[in-house]
Chain A
Amino acid sequence: MTEQEIFDSVQEIFRTVFDDTDIVLTREMTSADIEDWDSLEQINLLVAIEKRFNIKFQLQDVKDLPDVGAMLDLVKRMVA
């Protein structure tokens, strides 16, 4: 799976979860950039990503994800 494919899929998940088709992800984006992105939505995003890529995160992986870039890197590492 290419980096672009991962990016597109994750962006699609963000758009669905936040019900906003205009969301354009950047690696620097954090929860401060999307109004509804709180700790509850964080888990919703992670569960959706797990499902989409058929992976299972461990506590260590997700307890500290500073931004979208870290999220994309984590997925990339796990699907590699």
Chain B
Amino acid sequence: MSLFDYPFDGAMLLQKKRSLRRELLKKPNLTPKKVAILSGSTIGEIKNILELFLLDYGIAPEFYVGNYGLFYENLVFDDGSLADFKPDILYVHTSRKNLKNMPTTADTAQSAGEKLDAEWARFEAAFNAAKRFGCPVIVNSFDAPTHRVMGNRDAVDARGGVYFINEMNARLTTYVGKNEGFYLNDLAYLATRFGLDNWFSESEWYLYKYAVSMQYIPELCHNIANIIKSLLGKNKKGLVLDLDNTLWGGVIGEVGPEGIELSTETPGGMAYNEFQTYLKQLENMGILLNVASKNEPAAAESGFTRSDSPLKRDDFLCFKANWEPKSQSIAEIAKEINILPESLVFVDDNPAEREIVRQQLPGVAVAGFDGPEKMIAAIDRAGYFEITTLSADDAKRNEMYRQNLARAAEQQSFGSYEDYLKSLEMQGEFGSFTPPHAERITQLINKTNQFNLTTRRYTGPEVEALIEDKSAVTLYGRLADKFGDNGLVSAMIGHVHGDECEIELWIMSCRVFKRQMEHTMMDEFVRRCAAKGVRRIKGRYLPTAKNLLTKEIYGTMGFEKMSESETESVFALQVEQYVPQNTVIAVTAKE
């Protein structure tokens, strides 16, 4: 078990940070990222522990640390050093200790209101200034004050500290909601969860100017790291759930569906019922639910026929009820829905089953908890599914994977693969990037690892800038078929220099791989390049641990390999020699 698995021992992470860092830096395939931390109070240990969590997520941060307490000045009057650093992520570490215009009991209601406006204007100016770096900006909410001079009235009276901070948080969260590229690190929630008296230590503030007590710095950093890994497409995608004593109490093979604990009428049943309800909420956001249970299939499924069961059989994508080792069931599930095992989280009450999965499938996350009442917290607080953006496609994801399983079933009944593809009645829509697509394209770029030739990541503003860029050739592809709409599944970005176009990015969702979508994308890309007078197209393959399947793709499409090394292969295509490849997708070409 890793020291970073939730619930982690924060004190241990703090003490062992040096040896942990040494070990983590040996991990292969770390993604380098530039992280700027701007200071509202002491950063020191926050930087160190954030680095550990990011390394654990496969991200190697290079840090820029702003001057002590000068977040506002660094943002508004940057001396050029921050811009030169070119951050990929900006984190503004502020807290209530940075509120300079707190009202006092000497204020009138009117002057207190003016102070609130002035304070918010200061933060808004700092945040607006942060936009020019064109990277995601993570900002903190404000923790509640440790004392209330008016007692309970502090939350009601405009001169009260609690009132002031509540108002600031309302304005800040509204700002984050309205401004693309801004993300909330909900420090106020963490402070509430751990208790203000624990979260903030007067003596640590007086001695070292830590606005968060040392012992909670790991929790704070875990929260920030979750946002960053989510932005970089490193979220988990699905759950593999045990049934007996995980989704309900008791062994269904022995007591039958009526005998299991699931009713909201009993204390034990309530815990399972609420857990299922929580899972249903995850499913609504596109998290894939699967089952791996040691049971007879009929008995296993019977648990979901109860009218008081929040989850039904149809809520699950893959349902493995057998007597095989669960590591095997999980591996099969990953294969069937075509995602990497490391995108899955395993939930089982049995410590022995967890241990086997940890050993056999080290990439799979294993939820740690003891007792059904702790299951929701174990999943919720680990941040496996930290949501930074929610697109319409997310909500439909379960449905899309379900359609894919139906396609796989249909495939078996056709003589040739091409006949099968034709039977799908596929319709593709292809066009240059437009503003309505930008968010989905950015999301896809940053979470696609397998069909990704260069693994170059783009921020939202960078994608939007391409829309106006005359030298850029951009292409998105949507794919629908008789089973349903897959949505926007592929994107390409190239830049034209003279009569040559270089492909800087090509990604495609793996759920549509081998359906000639990749061929049709290339057909369209070449056509658009030719229209711009391009005579030669260059493509690169930059190997990672995950994108091996695209290694030779240019070679199979008429490109000639110019060079090959461990770090890069370069391919080139003469546009006039290109032969269109698609034979099965009906194409609608947009501008």
Q: Which residues of A contact B (CB under 8 A)?
A: 13, 16-19, 36, 39-40, 43-44, 47-48, 51, 57-59, 62-63
Cβ B15 vs Cβ A16 within 8 A: yes
Taking CB atoms, residues of chain A closer than 8 Å to B15 are 13, 16-17, 44, 48
B214 to A, closest residue via Cβ:
A47
A47 to B208, CA, bound (A): 13
Given A39-B208, A44-B15, A59-B203, 20 more contacts at CB 8 Å?
Answer: A17-B15, A17-B18, A19-B16, A19-B19, A19-B22, A36-B18, A40-B45, A40-B208, A43-B204, A43-B207, A43-B208, A43-B210, A44-B14, A47-B14, A47-B214, A57-B203, A58-B203, A59-B202, A59-B206, A63-B206
State the Cβ distance, A45 to closest chain B Cβ, in Å.
9
Cβ A18 vs Cβ B18 within 8 A: yes
Taking CB atoms, residues of chain A closer than 8 Å to B390 are none
Is B215 at the interface (CB under 8 A from chain A)? yes
Cβ B45 vs Cβ A44 within 8 A: yes
A62 to B202, CA, bound (A): 13
Taking CB atoms, residues of chain A closer than 8 Å to B25 are none
Highest count of chain B CB atoms <10 Å: which of A18, A51, A58, A63: A51
Cβ A19 vs Cβ B18 within 8 A: yes
**Is chain A's binding surface mostly helix, strand, loop or mixed?**
helix
Highest count of chain B CB atoms <10 Å: which of A18, A44, A63: A44
Taking CB atoms, residues of chain B closer than 8 Å to A44 are 14-15, 45, 214
A12 to B203, CA, bound (A): 25
Cβ B214 vs Cβ A59 within 8 A: no
Cβ B11 vs Cβ A43 within 8 A: no
Which of B16, B22, B42, B215 contacts A47 (CB under 8 A)?
B215
Cβ A40 vs Cβ B11 within 8 A: no
State the Cβ distance, A22 to closest chain B Cβ, in Å.
14
Cβ A40 vs Cβ B44 within 8 A: yes
What are 10 sample pairs from A and B whose C-beta atoms fall under 8 A apart? Answer: A16-B16, A17-B15, A39-B208, A43-B208, A43-B214, A47-B214, A51-B215, A57-B203, A59-B203, A59-B206
State the Cβ distance, A10 to closest chain B Cβ, in Å.
12
A25 to B246, CA, bound (A): 50
Contact residues, B17-42 vs A (CB, 8 A)? 18-19, 22, 42
Taking CB atoms, residues of chain A closer than 8 Å to B45 are 40, 43-44
A18 to B42, CA, bound (A): 20
A43 to B214, CA, bound (A): 8
Number of A-B contacts (CB under 8 A): 46
B9 to A, closest residue via Cβ:
A51
A58 to B42, CA, bound (A): 20
B210 to A, closest residue via Cβ:
A43
A2 to B207, CA, bound (A): 30
A19 to B14, CA, bound (A): 12
State the Cβ distance, A1 to closest chain B Cβ, in Å.
20
A23 to B37, CA, bound (A): 32
State the Cβ distance, B58 to closest chain A Cβ, in Å.
22
Taking CB atoms, residues of chain B closer than 8 Å to A63 are 206-207
Taking CB atoms, residues of chain B closer than 8 Å to A17 are 15, 18
Taking CB atoms, residues of chain B closer than 8 Å to A43 are 45, 204, 207-208, 210, 214
A57 to B556, CA, bound (A): 68
Taking CB atoms, residues of chain B closer than 8 Å to A40 are 42, 44-45, 208
Taking CB atoms, residues of chain A closer than 8 Å to B14 are 44, 47-48
A27 to B210, CA, bound (A): 28
A39 to B, closest residue via Cβ:
B208
State the Cβ distance, B576 to closest chain A Cβ, in Å.
61
Taking CB atoms, residues of chain B closer than 8 Å to A62 are 203, 207
State the Cβ distance, A50 to closest chain B Cβ, in Å.
9
Cβ A48 vs Cβ B11 within 8 A: yes
State the Cβ distance, A57 to closest chain B Cβ, in Å.
7
Taking CB atoms, residues of chain A closer than 8 Å to B11 are 47-48, 51
Taking CB atoms, residues of chain B closer than 8 Å to A57 are 203
B22 to A, closest residue via Cβ:
A19
A43 to B16, CA, bound (A): 14
A16 to B22, CA, bound (A): 13
Taking CB atoms, residues of chain A closer than 8 Å to B215 are 47, 51
State the Cβ distance, B68 to closest chain A Cβ, in Å.
12
A3 to B276, CA, bound (A): 54
A58 to B, closest residue via Cβ:
B203
State the Cβ distance, A76 to closest chain B Cβ, in Å.
21
Nearest 5 CB-CB pairings of A with B? A19-B18, A59-B203, A40-B44, A19-B19, A47-B214
